[in-house]
Amino acid sequence: MCQAFLLLSVYSRLTDGWPEDRSWLYLGISISLAMDLRLHERLPGAYTNEAYEREALNRTRTWLFCYNMDRELATRFGRPSAIPENYIASHSREWYRNSPYNGPLDLHICYYTQLLQIVTRYFGRIYSNTESITGFNSDINFESIVLSFDKEMGYFMTDMRHANASSSYGSHPSCQYQLAQMPLVVTYYRLMMYSFGLEHSYKSSGVISTMFLTSAVDAAAEVLQIANRTLPKYDFYRYSPDRHWSWPVHAASFLIKLVKPRCIELPGLTLTESQHTEILSLLDRFIHILRTSAIDDRHPPALYACSLADILSEGALDTRGMGCIENQQGLITDGSVPQIGLENFWDRML
């Protein structure tokens, strides 16, 4: 029953907005059932036979999946995690090699757990102000946090590739697909961190941080490049759960806000001609990949493709050449920054 609700959480029905999304509800039921079954505790004693050992592995596997989904959806919906740090999750790094009965994908469950622990730790630093209603800490050094996060992500990817290469299941098709997908996930979370830094830099100083903007654009473009070129090679791709599609869709939405700004109240910022052309090419290719990957018109990739295509086809202001000068990073900015409503940063600025 616990695993059934996990599947409902992973393959939940696509909704018009996050408030109607039932993934969090199904996951909450899964976590409650998992705790009632005491999956967060190790079975006592030594393994007496193969059946007992496989049962123990399945319990741990299910709990780690609950833990990972909790961390992932909490980050996605901006909600606190329901599962506190616990022994099984904190000692999961080498779990995939604990038994001869570990499956081929156990390595990737372990490393996804490690990734989400890193992401959760850094977001915990961002939302560390207990005197704020939202918990957002505006006094932290975002540049230092993001650079540290990037560095740790680099170590993580190196470690994971080494573990996969040394694993007896390294050549398994499912493992190859998971390994190919992990750079997209890592880059997506880097995009999230850069987006936080970009918004914070503008709200705190009224000036766009070129470093954050350039890095965010590069990260979003890299996500789409992986989604366009690497993942379609695998048959598993078209059967991915919705959240796997939402990562590149969010990156595409970020880029669309740059190439199709909603209004003229921009902080004197736009893209170069070559960047504009390259981003539009990436977006067109991604929409094509979504359409060709869809099973039918109701499949999430088809719905995402339709939505993105509609947004791109809408008329938008072309802010290129509006008295701006090009700087060394290849982005165009002018000296002044209009004072716009900070509470609507993403809707009005990009």
pLDDT tens by residue, 200-229: 887 777 777 888 888 999 999 999 999 999
How many angstroms separate the CA atoms of 81 and 120, rounded?
9
| Terminal Cα distance for the chain, rounded | 44
Provide the percentage of residues in the chain whose pLDDT is more than 70: 86
Distance CA(341)–CA(26), nearest Å, equals: 36
Query: In percent, how much of the chain has pLDDT > 90?
Result: 55
One-letter-per-residue 3-state SS of 11-55:
CCCCCCCHHHCCHHHHHHHHHHHHHHCCCCCCCCCCCCCHHHHHH
Summary mean pLDDT of the chain: 84
Bridge partners for 325 per DSSP = 333
pTM of the predicted model over 0.75: yes
Of the ranges 11-25, 194-208, 241-255, 309-323, which is most confident?
241-255
Does the pLDDT of residue 78 top 60, yes or no? Answer: yes
Distance separating alpha carbons of residues 65 and 31, to the nearest angstrom: 10
pLDDT of 341 higher than 70? no
Helix or strand (DSSP H, E) at 143 = helix 142-166
Find out whether 37 and 56 touch, Cβ atoms under 8 Å: no
For residue 41, how far is the Cα from the chain centroid? 29
Task: Of 4-18, 45-59, 132-146, 152-166, give the range with the top mean pLDDT.
Answer: 152-166
Cβ proximity of 293 and 238 under 8 Å: yes
Q: Which has more confidence, 183 or 45?
A: 183
The two three-digit tokens of residue 115, written as one number: 């990734």
- Give the residue from 211, 115, 96 showing the smallest Cα distance to 157: 115
In the block, residue with structure tokens 């907005």: 17
* Residue 319 pLDDT exceeds 70: no
Question: Do the Cβ atoms of 300 and 14 come closer than 8 Å?
Answer: yes
Rg of the chain, C-alpha, whole Å:
22
pLDDT in tens, 273-299: 888 899 999 999 999 999 999 999 989
- Report the distance separating Cα 227 and Cα 224, nearest Å: 5
User: Is residue 246's pLDDT more than 50?
Assistant: yes
At 232, phi and psi to the nearest 5? -60, -15
Residues near 166 by Cβ (< 8 Å), separated by ≥ 6?
Answer: none
Q: Give residue limits of the domains in the chain.
A: 1-102, 106-315+340-349
Rounded distance between C-alpha atoms, residue 347 and residue 90, angstroms? 39
Query: Are the CB atoms for 271 and 331 separated by under 8 Å?
Result: yes
Cα three-residue angle 304-308-310, rounded to 5 degrees:
120
What pLDDT does 270 receive? 65
Which one, of 277, 271, 267, lies nearest residue 335 by Cα?
267
What is the predicted pLDDT for the residue at 163? 93
- The strand pairing partners of 270, in sequence order, are 332
- Residues whose CB falls within 8 Å of the CB of residue 276, separated by 6 or more in sequence, listed in order: 259, 320
